[in-house]
Amino acid sequence: MKIISINAGSSSLKFSLFNMDNEEVIASGVFERIGIDGSKFTIKYDGEKIEQEIELVNHTDAVKVLLEKLIDLRIIKSLDEIDGVGHRLVHGKDKYSQSVIITDEVVQDLENFKEFAPLHNPANVLGINAFREALPDVAMVGVFDTAFHQTMSKENFLYPVPYKWYEEYGVRKYGFHGTSHRYITKSVEKLLGRKDFKLISCHIGNGGSIAAVKDMQCVDTSMGFTPLAGIMMGTRSGDIDSSIIPYVMEKEGKNASEVVDDLNKVSGLLGLSEYSNDMRDILEKCEEQDEKALLARSKYVRRIVDYIAQYYVLLNGVDVICFTAGVGENSIPIRREVCEKLACLGVEIDLDANNQRGEFVKLSTDNSKIDVYVIPTDEELMIARDTLELIKR
Ligand code: AMP
């Protein structure tokens, strides 16, 4: 069985083609600058990597080229080998708590929910329509970023604002990175051989969120109504006092969306360090004892620790803490600093184990009261697994 996982952005389309018999990636790649000058694609397969500039007017063009290339490069013999297409979908509001077979109703809902994810939902629809045109008889599955968080209780997903905002405008915490947090949850289930555990899943990349999970279900998560909330990120502020927004609007003569744009694009690590949103750059600058980089790094760690502490109490204790995504999988000093600050909860890590990068590794010692792991996330595989499961039914 072969399944393609698709992540369609407004001008890009990423894909991974899986052989689901062994869950191996047969080919993967990205189509970039779709509809913009200089469009190109990269395909990796069998140890090879090809890159080519090619005019791609829209997503339909990109999918056409992708499918042609899969055959030309002999990655597959015919399109009949593709058994299913799984799409990463961003916002399913409170309607979708699980992955679904994509129908006209799902596409309509993505359109209807677009004010909740103005950049992502329309792009997801472009990706779906392109595959519907190219492979009309192949089943497609939608995997929502928000779905895993639908198990949060009202107490956890509501903001203390007028209730009408929730009832009439849908103002509530939705949470994101759900596919990644679910992948981590399932990996921990496999590791422990049971479902009854308490987990804090830390997805720390350029974007970042933390989820509190009990018995396989999300109890709370740090991102909120939008992905701007929660921990400090590469360019996003995470939680701030909302009164800052009108204050800065007046100071800088900006409108609300321009200030929110600043909170999304020039805040976080980049904002505080005035240098970079990339943790590797920040760590390098810290070596030079750069004051702002040091501050950005300690604030970043602090925000992660704050959420872990909060969720430790919410879950009434924790069995496992997991680090994943770019920083979580690779940044040795950030993991060390977070874990050192958790010593009061009984966390103890082996510094040699922590020196490993980007691999599945147990960081905690036998003395640690909480098991700490690094588990590389794999959202594409999770999408392919869901797709396979739903099309087999
Ligand atoms: P992601 O969004 O999951 O791809 O994560 C991207 C972020 O991971 C980058 O912006 C870097 O800050 C961070 N990252 C990746 N590799 C490393 C590394 N070797 N050391 C520190 N941070 C890293």
Note whether 348 and 365 are within 8 A (CB).
Answer: yes
Query: Average pLDDT, whole number, for the chain?
Result: 97
> What pLDDT sits at residue 362?
97
> Can you tell me the mean pLDDT for 91-118?
96
CA–CA gap between residue 391 and residue 393 (Å, rounded): 5
Lowest mean pLDDT among 67-76, 251-260, 353-362: 353-362
**In a mutational test of the pocket of ligand 1, which residue from 209, 236, 278, 300 has the highest number of ligand atoms less than 8 Å from its CB?**
278
Give the end of a domain, one of 88, 122, 144.
Answer: 144
> Can you tell me the mean pLDDT for 113-133?
93
Distance of CA 328 from the midpoint of ligand 1 (Å):
8
- Return the CATH number at 256: 3.30.420.40
> Can you tell me the mean pLDDT for 159-180?
98
- How does 32-53 read in b/e, with b if 16+ C-beta sit within 10 Å? bebeeeebebebebeeeeeeee
Confirm whether 390 is domain-assigned: no
Active site residues: 145
Assess whether 203 and 336 both reside in one domain: yes
Assess whether 239 and 135 both reside in one domain: no
Residue 357 has pLDDT above 90, yes or no: no
Residue 140 pairs in a beta bridge with 85
Residue 107 has pLDDT above 90, yes or no: yes
Task: Please tell me the residue having the least CA distance from ligand 1 atom 23.
Answer: 327
Assess whether 119 and 254 both reside in one domain: no
Q: Is the CB of 327 under 6 A from ligand 1?
A: yes
Q: Which two tokens stand for residue 264?
A: 């999304």
Confirm whether 92 is domain-assigned: yes
> What pLDDT sits at residue 78?
96
HSE of 370, CA atoms in CB hemisphere, 13 A: 24
Assess whether 305 and 236 both reside in one domain: yes
Distance of CA 312 from the midpoint of ligand 1 (Å):
26
Q: Is the CB of 233 under 6 A from ligand 1?
A: no
Assess whether 93 and 198 both reside in one domain: no
Distance of CA 281 from the midpoint of ligand 1 (Å):
10
Confirm whether 389 is domain-assigned: no
Number of domains the chain contains? 2
Shortest-distance atom of ligand 1 to CA 325? 3
> Residues 226-262: pLDDT tens digits?
999 999 999 999 999 999 999 999 999 999 999 999 9
> What pLDDT sits at residue 328?
97
**In a mutational test of the pocket of ligand 1, which residue from 145, 176, 330 has the highest number of ligand atoms less than 8 Å from its CB?**
330
Give the pairing type, strands 217-221 and 208-214: antiparallel
Please give the residue range of the domain that contains residue 99.
2-144
> What pLDDT sits at residue 119?
86
Residue 358 has pLDDT above 90, yes or no: no
